[in-house]
Amino acid sequence: MMSISLVRRRRRRLPVVAAAVAVAASALNACSSPSAGSKAVSDEITIADHAIPQSLDPMSSASYETTQLTFLWGGYLTNYADGKDSGSPQLAKSVTASPDGLTWTVKLRSGLKFSDGSALTSKDVVASLDRILSTPNVAGDNFIGPVMSSIKKVTAPDDNTVSLAMSRPYPGLPAALSTPEMIILPASAIAKGDSFWKHPVSAGRFKLDTLDTTNGKFTLSANPNYYDTTPRKVKKINFVAVTDAATRLAQLKSGQVDYADNIPGNLLSQVKSPLTLDTAKWNGGQMGLSVNFNDPIAGDKRVRQAISLAVNRQQIAASALGGERVGLPLYGIPWNQDNDSPNVKATKQNIAAAKAKLKGTKCQNGCTIPLVTVTDSAWQVPLVAQVVQQQLKAIGIRLEIENTTFNQVGDRLKQGDWGLFTRWIGYYENTQTYLGGYIYGDPRSGNNANFWGTLPTKPDMPELKALSDRMKTASSSEAPGLVEKINEEYAKELPSIPLTTLSYVGVSRFPSNVIHSVGASYLVLP
Amino acid sequence: MSSAVLPGPAARRTGSRAGKRLAAILSPFVQAIVVTLLVMVITFFLIRTLLGDPAVVLIGGNTGASPQRIAALRAELGLDKPLLVQFLGYLAGLLHGDLGNSFQHPGTTVASVVVNGAGVTFALVGVALLISCVVGIGVGLLAAGGNRPVFDNIVRVFSLIGLAAPGALVGLVLILTVALGGRLFPAGGWGSGYPDSFQYLFLPAVTVSFWLTPIILRVVRTRAGEVLHEPFAEAAAARGMSRARLMLRHVAPNCAGPVLAVIGVSLSYLISGAVIVEIVYGLPGIGRAMTTAVGSLDFPVIQGIVLLTGAVVVVLNLIAEVATRVIDPRAAR
């Protein structure tokens, strides 16, 4: 038997050992976790992204995380910003149109340089825009298709001037030049091809220092050759990819990161002062249901109208999205950065009216509609699908949810045997011109079967098509009135069923006037 | 004429015993190689048949890329060839030690992706194994050693929790309590090399070990309980050997065999469990590399990771089996 004194000595040692372990652990952690909630911005910040960028080339990836990085290291002719500043000069000193709108002249600032010190001239701008123009079928691209299909040719009359010859007037060109794909790259680097993207160079406020593309870890530091020499607070940025949202938020709370992007609605209630919420609205951001017009049930306008009457948009915003900060009820085509839908009546859920609409349709006594949903992209999508599925039971419509992945959904939709598709969409370009492609598929692009932002062509909506076509070339004064008319026609036909607006919510250790997002992925930093 | 039974020719040494011994030694290695190759072949054909078209993903095909552009990229990646031709090309590369290049990151070799990630994952699994063994064996011996009903019940409850709780849940609870509440360790992430990264390893390793520790604990408790009732153990106790000495010198070594067997069987679960934990904690291991590769249909990286993890699991199982036989020759029979 063990002696009693030995037992007592061992028992006394245990708390000492435990305390030593705790002290050692705290010491190990001491240097790496600054307290959460300190409000002063240091010159180095860490941002936790929700995903690893698949590519640094905005022509290869339009993802949120790629765009967030691109806007920081990329130089653009014009600024991407809030409201009236969108399209204001950046690398360009001025962007002016000829009276007929068919020629745009860009004057570059003098003495421009890339972050590696090489000169930036008009030939680099031409090469950068030509890179996009020479991309096969770029006119069909859902983001830059409208603008690129309007540009005929880009030339450089001198080192500081770029001339764009247009095939049709495009009033929104200054703003379009600020969108992610319009990044200005060295002409010599473009010729290098893929190897350039191992360590790309541009003329943005920051430059890329280290790149770990496999793990989504990047560091950027202030570009010493940036054209704007105004002293700025933030000089270094660390990007880390933390794919789990709860962990992302935990790292923010512990002070490991300063900004955590794209926090789902169900976690927002955990955010307490001094942490702040940063709501970044997508331009034209929408959660909705796209329609397969070849489906005998979903293709029936009365069924679509019944669905629109039967859904409870407030409930979708509250339960699926976690509150109106993430999404507001939407009844028409969202317009401008506030995603208003002018001239569209807000409708309340009306089950009786919805059932009345179904009389004489294939859903009169109940029906099943296949609903295709992407599960691995926006977190909102599967949640919205589930809530809508529950809501439509009240009118006898059974939604059969079919989950698929982002990579496979295009092929799945091309198979044709689906009725509805849960879509989410937003744009970078804050002009009316994207609405043309947004609302109605453009037959010229051969892009009708593509789910991303365009709809299958529906021949018997001539009024809506005509209005959409006019939108592509409408002046900024004509556009708001046109949107109202579009929404009137839209409400009659419902070629898709709008549900809520779409926003991303980030959480910051700093007040929102210090760091905030614009258009979901453009970080405004001090 | 009388006949006598003459002695026949001397029995020829056919070497059957030596042959059997050689076969016994080589057999596990051959099996290991065959299993690894089988895993590689199945993975190769499965991912190409089921996962979709990487060219569409790489080109951002859902944003309206033309079929011609997608076809050109497919040809560039060698995906337009028949599957068998692709496989033979892959095999030829393997024989030269070339795992290929990542589709997602042109110019980046699969080997670099896998090796960088493997370092983190194997460090995680290694530390998790260490924690599981130290805690499992220690507590198991304590539990076997005496009549402590309260302690036994506590151990039993924690064992059940450890076995039932999903790794992601355990990870999040530890982050919330230990990292955020206690501020003892970082809430995930990774450092800039060692020794800085050790602090980031601890909580993830505890999470991974949460499942294995109760299994080792139970195995040790049961075996230790059996050994304590062996005549030699009772005799040693009767001669006045201290309990601690008895447990450490005589009981614990007898538990090594079963523990090694459990570890051998659990290795593949440990590595697959590490995938979830890496995502929860944001560790740059092969688990996270695998989920990224699957999401972007980066076939060469997927194959490389499957090949590496398959080979490692097979080899470690082999080592565990050999070690078991060395520790306890009775297991060889």
Could you report the per-residue pLDDT of B79-128, keeping only the tens digit for each? 889 999 999 999 999 889 899 988 887 778 899 989 889 999 999 999 99
More confident residue, A295 or A40: A295
Closest CB from A142, A240, A408 relative to B52: A408
* Overall average pLDDT of the A347-369 stretch: 94
Using pLDDT thresholds of 50, 70 and 90, give the confidence band for residue B37.
confident
ipTM exceeding the 0.90 mark = no
On whether the CB atoms of residues B251 and B233 are closer than 8 A, the answer is yes
Q: Which residue of B has its CA nearest to A32?
A: B186
Tens digit of each residue's pLDDT (9 = 90 or more) over B183-222: 899 999 898 778 888 899 999 999 999 989 999 998 998 8
Instruction: Assess whether pLDDT exceeds 60 at residue B2.
Output: no
Q: How far apart are CA A453 and CA B268, in angstroms?
A: 43
On whether the CB atoms of residues A37 and A249 are closer than 8 A, the answer is no
In this prediction, what percent of chain B has a pLDDT beyond 90?
24
The minimum CA-CA distance between A321 and chain B, rounded to whole Å, is: 22
Using pLDDT thresholds of 50, 70 and 90, give the confidence band for residue A454.
very low
Judging contacts by C-beta atoms under 8 Å, the chain B residues touching residue A26 are: 183-184
The minimum CA-CA distance between B125 and chain A, rounded to whole Å, is: 19
Instruction: Assess whether pLDDT exceeds 60 at residue A387.
Output: yes
Q: How far apart are CA B206 and CA B124, in angstroms?
A: 9
Q: How far apart are CA B312 and CA A56, in angstroms?
A: 33
* Overall average pLDDT of the A9-28 stretch: 49
* Contact flag B188-A251 (C-beta cutoff 8 Å): yes
pLDDT at position A15: 52
* Contact flag A136-B69 (C-beta cutoff 8 Å): yes
Q: How far apart are CA B99 and CA B109, in angstroms?
A: 7
Using pLDDT thresholds of 50, 70 and 90, give the confidence band for residue A449.
very low
Instruction: Assess whether pLDDT exceeds 70 at residue A175.
Output: yes
* Overall average pLDDT of the B280-291 stretch: 89
Strands, sheet with A397-404, edge to edge from the N-terminal-most edge strand: A206-212, A217-222, A236-241, A44-49, A259-260, A496-508, A276-291, A420-427, A367-374, A397-404
Q: How far apart are CA B128 and CA A75, in angstroms?
A: 46
Q: Which residue of B has its CA nearest to A3?
A: B242
B226–A contact, CB cutoff 8 A: no
Instruction: Assess whether pLDDT exceeds 90 at residue A409.
Output: no
* Preceding peptide of B195 cis, ω within 30°: yes
| Residue A507 structure tokens | 């959480």
Q: How far apart are CA A450 and CA A454, in angstroms?
A: 6
B181–A contact, CB cutoff 8 A: no
* Contact flag B60-A62 (C-beta cutoff 8 Å): yes
Residue from A355, A351, A335 nearest A343 by CA: A335
User: Can you tell me which residue has the tokens 């708001």?
Assistant: A480
On whether the CB atoms of residues A371 and A419 are closer than 8 A, the answer is yes
Q: Which residue of A has its CA nearest to B59?
A: A60
User: Can you tell me which residue has the tokens 């501020």?
Assistant: B183
B139–A contact, CB cutoff 8 A: no
Closest CB from A54, A254, A411 relative to B104: A54
* Overall average pLDDT of the A10-22 stretch: 50
* Contact flag B187-A25 (C-beta cutoff 8 Å): no
pLDDT at position A361: 96
Helix (H) or strand (E) run with residue A434 in it: helix A434-439
Closest CB from A54, A244, A447 relative to B296: A54
pTM: 0.82
Q: Is A289 helix (H, G, I), strand (E, B) or coil?
A: strand
Neighbours of A216 (CB within 10 A): 25
Q: Which residue of B has its CA nearest to A250?
A: B187
Using pLDDT thresholds of 50, 70 and 90, give the confidence band for residue B235.
confident
Q: Which residue of A has its CA nearest to B294?
A: A407
Exposed, middle or buried, B181 (CB in 10 Å: 0-12/13-18/19+)?
exposed
Closest CB from B61, B105, B172 relative to A246: B172
Q: Is B271 helix (H, G, I), strand (E, B) or coil?
A: helix
Residue from A422, A405, A415, A417 nearest B52 by CA: A405
* Contact flag B282-A145 (C-beta cutoff 8 Å): no
Using pLDDT thresholds of 50, 70 and 90, give the confidence band for residue B301.
very high
Helix (H) or strand (E) run with residue A133 in it: helix A122-133
pLDDT at position B76: 85
| Residue B19 structure tokens | 């042959």
B151–A contact, CB cutoff 8 A: no
* Contact flag A407-B244 (C-beta cutoff 8 Å): no
* Contact flag A214-B289 (C-beta cutoff 8 Å): yes
Q: How far apart are CA B261 and CA B242, in angstroms?
A: 29
* Overall average pLDDT of the A26-30 stretch: 47
pLDDT at position A29: 47
Lowest mean pLDDT among A24-28, A140-144, B290-294, B315-319: A24-28
Closest CB from B56, B66, B184 relative to A137: B66
Q: Which residue of A has its CA nearest to B72?
A: A136
pLDDT at position A27: 47
Closest CB from A25, A55, A140 relative to B64: A140
Interface test with B, best of A65, A407, A448, A507 (most B CBs within 10 A): A407
Please report the residues numbered 71 through 100 in chain B whose beta carbons come closer than 8 angstroms to any beta carbon of chain A: none
The minimum CA-CA distance between B61 and chain A, rounded to whole Å, is: 8
User: What's the first-to-final CA gap in chain A, in angstroms?
Assistant: 70
More confident residue, A105 or B19: A105
The minimum CA-CA distance between B254 and chain A, rounded to whole Å, is: 22
Size of interface A-B (CB pairs under 8 A): 156
* Contact flag B66-A136 (C-beta cutoff 8 Å): yes
Using pLDDT thresholds of 50, 70 and 90, give the confidence band for residue B3.
very low
pLDDT at position A467: 81
